[in-house]
Amino acid sequence: MVNRFYLLVLLIGIVAAIAGCGGNETKTAAAPTAKKPEPMAPFRFHKLIEVSPGQSYDVLSWGRGAVDAGSFMILHSDSSAIKYTTTTGDLDGVIVDAFNADMDVDGNPEILIQAKSKDTTNYASIYAFEFNNNKANKLDFPRLNNSQRKGYRGNDNFYIRDGKFMREFPIYSGSGKDAKPTGAKRQLEYSLRSNEFTVKQLSKDSTNVADNTQAKQNQDNKTTIQQSEKKSNSSSKSSKKKRRRNRD
């Protein structure tokens, strides 16, 4: 009995030791997902664009108070020549993105800033600069003409493709709160020549799908009527022939 008692105590001690060791195991916590650091007030937007080794551009927006107004800055760091320049301007809207391109292939980078505005005329604004020898040359970005603007209600998508600055946006029919997307999109391609933008529409879209649909319906109705008239004329001729045969 004594031996069994000591054996039971020994087993309990071993189990307790194993449980204690298991409880002291260090559990590896899952690494938290790294979040992109947000700019500290009064700054609202920041994007670093590295054009080449030693050539970088920090695009920022800043301002206190109003949300849809402020200023932008382009900080150019030329670390190889130890030169640092700042380009500033007034900002209408909120910066959505910034792009780097060399549309005229002259070796001088262009920095384009896309801002979104709430006004019902120009939903998107582009602030464009070409940098040459640490000097910023402002470029005038063209507004949409009447043809390009027809059915436009913002929601622009800008991107760089094959060295060109591309723009896409959905087309709406109607106006005001009654405007509805047609499902069509308009695509524009911007190029740069002698520091002036040229624009070309690539898509053969319909600026008013509703009108085109109605026109198609009208054409179909016209075709149906013509076919009905043709059948009617054919049956009329057939009846006349039968009458002549009966008379004969």
Q: Summarize pLDDT for 69-82 with one digit per residue, the tens.
A: 899 999 999 999 99
In a shared domain, residues 209 and 117: no
Residue that is last in its domain, among 99, 125, 141: 141
The answer to whether position 12 is within a domain reads no
In a shared domain, residues 74 and 105: yes
The answer to whether position 104 is within a domain reads yes
The answer to whether position 162 is within a domain reads yes
Question: Which residues are CB-contacts of 176 (< 8 A; sequence separation ≥ 6)?
Answer: none
In a shared domain, residues 149 and 112: no
Domain span holding position 191:
144-224
- Going by the DSSP 8-state scheme, the letter that residue 119 receives in this structure is S
3-state secondary structure (DSSP) of residue 152: strand
Q: What pTM, to 2 d.p., does this model score? A: 0.69
- Alpha-carbon distance 72 to 94, whole Å? 10
CATH of the domain at 67: 2.40.128.460
In a shared domain, residues 126 and 170: no
Q: Dump pLDDT digits (tens) for 98-113.
A: 999 999 999 999 999 9
Q: Dump pLDDT digits (tens) for 140-178.
A: 999 999 999 999 999 999 999 999 999 999 999 988 778
In a shared domain, residues 133 and 49: yes
Report yes or no: 76 and 87 within 8 Å, Cβ to Cβ: yes
120 CB neighbour count, 10 Å cutoff: 10
In a shared domain, residues 108 and 169: no
In a shared domain, residues 133 and 44: yes
Lowest model confidence (mean pLDDT) among 11-25, 52-66, 93-107, 180-194: 11-25
The answer to whether position 234 is within a domain reads no
Total number of domains in the chain = 2
The answer to whether position 59 is within a domain reads yes
Count CA atoms closer than 13 A to 162's CA, side-chain side: 3
In a shared domain, residues 109 and 201: no
> Is residue 117 predicted with pLDDT exceeding 70?
yes
